[in-house]
Amino acid sequence: MSDSKLEELEIRLLLEAVFEKYGYDFRDYAMASVRRRILSFMEIHKIEKISELIPLVLHNKKTFNLFIKRLSITVTEMFRDPFVYKFIRENVIDILRTYPFIKVWHAGCASGEEVYSLAILLKEEGLLERTQIYATDFNNIALNKAKEGIFDIKNIKKYSVNYRDAGGKDSLSSYYHSKYDSVMMNNELKKNITFANHNLITDTVFGEMHLIFCRNVMIYFNKELQGKVFDLFDKSLIPRGFLCLGSKESLKFSTIEEKYNTLGLKERVYQKLS
Amino acid sequence: MSFNKKKYEIVVIGVSAGGMQILPEILSGIKDNFPLPVIIVNHIAPSSDNYFAMLLQEKCKLKVKEADEKELIENSVIYTSPPNYHLLIESDKTFCLSVDQRINYARPSIDVLFYSASDVYKSRIISVVLTGANSDGAKGARYIKKNGGLVIVQDPATAYIEVMPQSVIDICEVDFILNPNQIAEKLNKLAEINI
């Protein structure tokens, strides 16, 4: 057995162990990314072989928590890819406006920066009051951070630029108050957001959505899993509902592609056909 | 009857400050029927469009495109890394993107591509590190060398900023230290070597 085959086997056993014991399923993740995260975890914790990790994650809850954090946390920012928010403001909002009540699902919201971005946009368009945003993630640590809505002040300058490029109508500073090294998002934004644990791989449909926002989550999945999650989104969207993906993700070659109209190619905004 | 299986299967290039000047120069020297895929990680502003690929396309006959998520790597195509994403290679020779934290202050990081490419291609990879102002790529090049791959660096004396090529030379036994005009020529020759 070659070294790389052996390593593949070790990763498979490790992910199987994590799934069997804790229910977190990374088995259908894009292997190159998972592997890199596992190896970087091993480097930090001075672990030589992947298989040595198995007893550690099975018997040591603390190590497991750190491991799961390393395996699942992604980096995001407020108004990431401002042109996407601008596009939504200019092309999607007016259609959403025609509904008496709007449901938005932000799937894989991580630490929440983009959830608040969307809430700000909806508020400025006068829609937040009649919108219910479901912000979900399978990682409770990230989810709690999102719920708190407290972000590092050192990133605010960049976020403000993004906000402006996204077509912001006010000043980003009207949506948070700063304290020491942090900013805290205003409660009026949080009022209509429900933060909840939801696992895209194991959990199912929980509502009929007008807009699903899921950015830079699919890139971490393999093709098969991508297909399953696209199906889940398709089942969760109302006819003429919108799906917004990360700027390098696409419905191209997916099984639901033909049921959707590409509204913004660069922005990766799709609309379900009626 | 000849079995002309090539010795090398892929070229990976890392470049940072000064890349916009040197890449067109090097790529225009790559011959039109270059048989291998070329993957380029260039430290570029996160908000950049794919104008970088378009700019390079004007300079060479080979097809140039931004690497797409899950895209199968094809011979004789030059791929650039999308801004603000790490670029990795899966064992089935498709691309994998990630928005994980920056490595060496960079996303895309050259080290991330080099490590993952080396794991897939082992000794059948040619790596090139060009001008740049930080040491991203040095550890990756050393890893490629350790796995039996080939390491070429731009002669720091000819680099717009010498830090990046020099940091490879500092920690890795490199195979070739070349001027920009020698690099394309060398790649053309290496790509034709059969096993």
Q: Is the dihedral of CA B151, B156, B159, B160 positive or negative?
A: positive
Q: What is the pLDDT of residues B145-188, one digit of tens each?
A: 999 999 999 999 999 999 999 999 999 999 999 999 999 999 99
DSSP category for residue A183: E
Chain B contact for A8 (CB, 8 A cutoff):
yes
H-helix or E-strand spanning residue A77: none
Nearest CA to B176 out of B153, B156, B147 is that of B153
The predicted pLDDT at position B1 comes to 47
Q: What is the pLDDT of residues A199-249, one digit of tens each?
A: 999 899 999 999 999 999 999 999 999 999 999 999 999 999 999 999 999
A184 and A112 assigned to the same domain: yes
Q: What is the arithmetic mean of pLDDT over B18-33?
A: 93
CATH for B40? 3.40.50.180
Nearest CA to A22 out of A61, A56, A52, A49 is that of A61
A103 and A234 assigned to the same domain: yes
A107 and A7 assigned to the same domain: no
- Residue B3, pLDDT > 80, answer no
The total of structural domains in chain B comes to 1
Q: What is the pLDDT of residues B57-109, one digit of tens each?
A: 998 899 999 999 999 999 999 999 999 999 999 999 999 999 999 999 999 99
Nearest CA to A194 out of A130, A227, A147, A138 is that of A147
> Per the domain annotation, does A225 fall within a domain?
yes
> Per the domain annotation, does A77 fall within a domain?
no
A100 and A207 assigned to the same domain: yes
Q: Is the dihedral of CA B90, B93, B99, B103 positive or negative?
A: positive
Q: What is the pLDDT of residues B29-57, one digit of tens each?
A: 999 999 999 999 999 877 777 778 888 99
The total of structural domains in chain A comes to 2
Which residues in chain A have their CB less than 8 angstroms from residue B97's CB?
219, 248
Nearest CA in chain B to A5: B91
CA torsion B1-B2-B3-B6 (nearest 10°) is -160
A140 and A212 assigned to the same domain: yes
> Per the domain annotation, does A96 fall within a domain?
yes
Chain B contact for A95 (CB, 8 A cutoff):
no
Q: Are A127 and A95 in contact (CB under 8 A)?
A: no
The predicted pLDDT at position B50 comes to 73
A17 and A99 assigned to the same domain: no
- Residues of B annotated as catalytic are 16, 43, 136
The overall average pLDDT reported for chain B is 94
Contact call for A36 and B97, based on CB within 8 A = no
Contact call for B99 and A219, based on CB within 8 A = yes
**How close A100 comes to chain B (CA, Å)?**
36
- Among residues A72, A96, A121, the one where a domain terminates is A72
Q: What is the ipTM of this complex?
A: 0.89
A248 and A165 assigned to the same domain: yes
Chain B contact for A155 (CB, 8 A cutoff):
no
Q: Are A58 and A16 in contact (CB under 8 A)?
A: no
**Could you give the CA distance from residue B31 to residue B11 in angstroms, rounded to a whole number?**
14
- CB atoms under 10 Å from CB of B77, counted, come to 17
Chain B contact for A32 (CB, 8 A cutoff):
yes
CATH for A190? 3.40.50.150
> Per the domain annotation, does A263 fall within a domain?
yes
A42 and A92 assigned to the same domain: no
Helix (H, G, I), strand (E, B) or coil at B36: coil
Q: Which domain holds residue A173?
A: 82-272
Residues of chain A with pLDDT under 70: none
Residues in chain B: 195
Contact call for B96 and A33, based on CB within 8 A = yes
